[in-house]
Amino acid sequence: MPPGAPPKPDGSVFLAWLRTPRPEAPPGVWRFGHRPRPEQEPEQIPSRQLLSGALIAFLVGWLVWSLLWNGYLGAWWVLPLELFTPDSWRQGNDAVGNAILWYSYYTVIALAILFVVGRLGRWGEVWRRYGPGAWRPATPAAAPPPAPEQDPAEWPRLRQAGAHEAAERLAGEARAGLMRDVDHARISRAWQGVRSGRHSLAGFTGAVLKDGAAACPHPSGERDLPARHARHDLLTGQVRLGTTADDPRNPYHYRGAGLALGPDLLGTSLLAVGPAGSGKTGAVVRPLAESLCLHALAGRASVVVVGAAGAGLGPAEAYDVVVRVGHPDSVYDLDLYGGTTDPDEAAAILAEALVGDLADPHPGSDSRRSTTVLAQLLGPFRAVHDRFPSVPELRQLLDGAPGPLAALRKGLTDTGHASLLRELDARERQMAHPGDVGTVLADRIALLDRPAFAPFFDTSGQSRPFSLKALDHPVRVRIDLPQRGHADASRILARLVLAQFTASVTVREDRSLFACLLLDDASGVVTPEAVRGIQRLRSANAGAVLTLRTLDDVPRPLRGPLLGATGCRMALSGLTPWDGQDFAEVWGKEWTETRDVTDRQIIAETPAGKAVHMLRRVITGQAPTARAVTVRQVERERWSASELAHGVPPGHAVLSLTTVEGEHAPPLLVDLRG
């Protein structure tokens, strides 16, 4: 290497990451380098009692040896030596041999006494707790190098399938430091496509031999994000959010372990509730968005992140599509009708966005009247113009302006769609009745017919509209909602995106791609139809992440169904007691063992008794008592409303988890700053 040249890349860091063990673990445990712990906490002896017992055992052993050595217990303890050795060995003229024989026997007896008193005094526990090994920080032992046929860096699955040349090329790239974790995940995903029959083995091998670690690229050509703010493990698909607190309320095998989420948990959807400043965006949504963007670069996921402009959901360079609604410099537009050409489907999605929050929140209610009104206008308009109406045009039709309705009627007659005239006739008859829902729809669509939104929601084909139909591909999308002065419009758009997401992902042909919607601040978004849509995501290999400042932003009849529809529920610090009550109810109760201990001090009446009591006080540090213990099985809440409101420290959260396979994790106290 010439002087001054940069050092060659080294693949040791990547290989160490790839070869780190990832044992099977309960849901939510950060598996990278995880050390499993026992289910039950081992009994911990108090230090004072442990040291006192060890000292007393030593003194007892010393006393026994002294009594034996000085002959106070007789000579019976040398009987085994006399029975199993010849007299010539013990009574011969060889003084050195006799000394060796006798002192060897004495050593054996002394070691036997030490062994017995050491077990009784728990000397091994004293050594482990206070010996030199406890002074040094525990360092994990280096794992032995794996065998070539089990080394993931050698791509054994490719070799087993006959792709030896591709495996050699990838292994060489890994050793040379030219491969990243995203490359490994992306190529593994492409190999899964070969195994499932979607791609040919020859095409895969040719791409790997040509491009090496850069083979099978993402459509954007990117191989990593501009920056990472969280710890990711693309081999397991996890992102680390924090550390499970070492708290008695957490199961012992979870305490101190890293807390991580992945598609296996997000597939059941996540609801996070906490006041402003509790960490919903920075500690939950941002790491999850970052992780899903990495999964998208690996070809394993598609993600849509929705939040207020400037909410800190990642730089624009980390996304393929950035829709900045209301911003004049936005490159992409938002398709108001979700990319569909079916008027009935478009009407259902748009009705949910406009007046979904006005529907009866009780389960079983719907917004079919609003859907019917919109379908009566969207169907005829598309038949005439081969497109859906823009926002101003739809507002005029809903307002019942005579000119646009007459022009639409004439267009239907001229184009030979006279059968659709019945839709317009029904719409005009309904407009004459009081309480027509079209008036409400017109008022709501007027919130989008503002000068700030004039360049958006174009249907003439002159803009670049983004449709959630694109979630069939590994795309990264960020939608910035306007907040200042347009709060109502932002809630409409948030409901629109959620409705389009649930409608799009459930009809995908290829469901091997995980799709996820991250909705930062879902206030005013939860409707009866939204809850039903979230319930359908699990079977479609999709999920949603919703954050709320308080459950009061959700109608009371929908709080229970919402908590039931999401498999992962998070209560952050600062929760109100009435919000905590809803979480306490959904987490339920558990049987626990309670111990009622009654201590009664023992009064010594004799000098000997007083001496014994004084010795017990010195050893245990407590007065001698007679203890009565009553053990009962009682049913209590896992986390009470009061504990959730006042017992969760700042920067912490209580999180329960459910995997898509149905495995549960109880509510865990998690330090989101760890």
pLDDT of the residue at 635: 76
Per-residue pLDDT tens over the stretch 502-546: 999 988 888 889 999 999 989 989 999 999 999 999 999 999 999
Angstrom distances, CA of residue 499 to CA of 221, 324, 340, 505, 558: 30, 19, 13, 10, 17
Per-residue pLDDT tens over the stretch 109-136: 889 999 998 898 888 888 888 878 767 6
The DSSP bridge partners found for residue 323 are 479
pLDDT class for 92, splitting at 50, 70, 90? low
Q: Give the mean model confidence (pLDDT) for residues 563-579.
A: 94
pLDDT of the residue at 95: 67
pLDDT of the residue at 229: 92
Contact in structure between 272 and 282 (CB atoms under 8 Å): no
Q: How many whole angstroms separate alpha carbon 361 and alpha carbon 348?
A: 17
Q: How many whole angstroms separate alpha carbon 457 and alpha carbon 534?
A: 26
Contact in structure between 271 and 563 (CB atoms under 8 Å): yes
Return the beta strands (E) in 183-297 as ranges.
Answer: 231-233, 238-244, 258-261, 270-273
Contact in structure between 304 and 501 (CB atoms under 8 Å): yes
Residues of the chain with pLDDT > 90, as a percent, come to: 48
pLDDT above 60 (res 367): yes
Per-residue pLDDT tens over the stretch 205-219: 999 999 998 999 999
Q: How many whole angstroms separate alpha carbon 558 and alpha carbon 562?
A: 6
Residue 238, SS3 per DSSP: strand
User: Within its chain, how far is the Cα of 433 from the centroid?
Assistant: 51
Work out whether strand 301-308 and strand 465-466 pair parallel, antiparallel, or are unpaired: unpaired
Residue 209, SS3 per DSSP: helix
Q: Which residues of 426-452 are buried (b: 16+ CB within 10 A; e: fewer)?
A: ebeebeeeeebbbebbbebbebbbeeb
Q: How many whole angstroms separate alpha carbon 143 and alpha carbon 153?
A: 15
pLDDT of the residue at 286: 95
Helix (H) or strand (E) holding 151: none
421 is written with which tokens? 């005239």
Q: Measured over all CA atoms, what is the biggest interatomic distance in the chain, rounded to whole angstroms?
A: 136
H helix runs in 41-141, sequence order: 47-69, 79-84, 87-91, 95-120, 123-130, 132-135
Cβ contacts of residue 486 below 8 Å, gap of 6+? Answer: 326, 447, 450, 452
Q: How many whole angstroms separate alpha carbon 119 and alpha carbon 447?
A: 80
pLDDT above 70 (res 331): yes
pLDDT class for 89, splitting at 50, 70, 90? low
Angle subtended at Cα 473 by Cα 467 and Cα 479, rounded to the nearest 5 degrees: 40
Per-residue pLDDT tens over the stretch 382-426: 998 888 999 999 999 998 888 888 898 888 888 877 778 888 888
Q: How many whole angstroms separate alpha carbon 476 and alpha carbon 472?
A: 12
- For residue 566, count CB atoms less than 10 angstroms from its CB and return exposed for 0-12, middle for 13-18, buried for 19 or more: buried
638 is written with which tokens? 């896992």
Please spell the DSSP secondary structure of 585-645, one letter per residue.
HHH-EEEEEEEEEEEEEPPP-SHHHHHHHHHHHHHHSS--EEEEEEEEEEEEESS-HHHHH
Give the range among 76-85, 464-473, 532-541, 561-570 with minimum mean pLDDT: 76-85
Q: What does pLDDT average to over the chain?
A: 87
The residue written with tokens 């009435």 in the block is 578
Q: Residues 581, 583, 586, 590: is their CA dihedral positive or negative?
A: negative
Q: What is the dihedral of CA 569, 575, 576, 580, to 10 degrees?
A: 30
Category of 364 on φ-ψ map: left (φ > 0), alpha (ψ -120 to 50) or beta: left
H helix runs in 176-254, sequence order: 181-196, 201-211
Phi then psi dihedrals of residue 638, to 5 deg: -60, -50
Q: Give the mean model confidence (pLDDT) for residues 597-607.
A: 74
506 is written with which tokens? 């459930």
Q: What is the dihedral of CA 298, 299, 305, 309, to 10 degrees?
A: 60
Q: Which residue has the higher pLDDT, 9 or 466?
A: 466
pLDDT of the residue at 100: 77
204 is written with which tokens? 């895969």
pTM of the model: 0.85
Q: How many whole angstroms separate alpha carbon 395 and alpha carbon 392?
A: 5
123 is written with which tokens? 């000397």
pLDDT of the residue at 425: 84
pLDDT of the residue at 4: 40
Phi then psi dihedrals of residue 74, to 5 deg: 90, -175
Residues of the chain with pLDDT > 70, as a percent, come to: 93
pLDDT class for 6, splitting at 50, 70, 90? very low
277 is written with which tokens? 């400043």
User: Within its chain, how far is the Cα of 479 from the centroid?
Assistant: 23
pLDDT of the residue at 409: 87
Work out whether strand 589-601 and strand 625-637 pair parallel, antiparallel, or are unpaired: antiparallel
Q: Which residue has the higher pLDDT, 83 or 234?
A: 234
Category of 88 on φ-ψ map: left (φ > 0), alpha (ψ -120 to 50) or beta: alpha
Helix (H) or strand (E) holding 493: helix 487-505
Q: Give the mean model confidence (pLDDT) for residues 51-60.
A: 89
Angle subtended at Cα 569 by Cα 568 and Cα 573, rounded to the nearest 5 degrees: 140
pLDDT above 90 (res 624): no
Per-residue pLDDT tens over the stretch 626-652: 777 777 787 788 899 999 999 999 999
Cβ contacts of residue 584 below 8 Å, gap of 6+? Answer: 637, 638, 639, 640, 641, 644
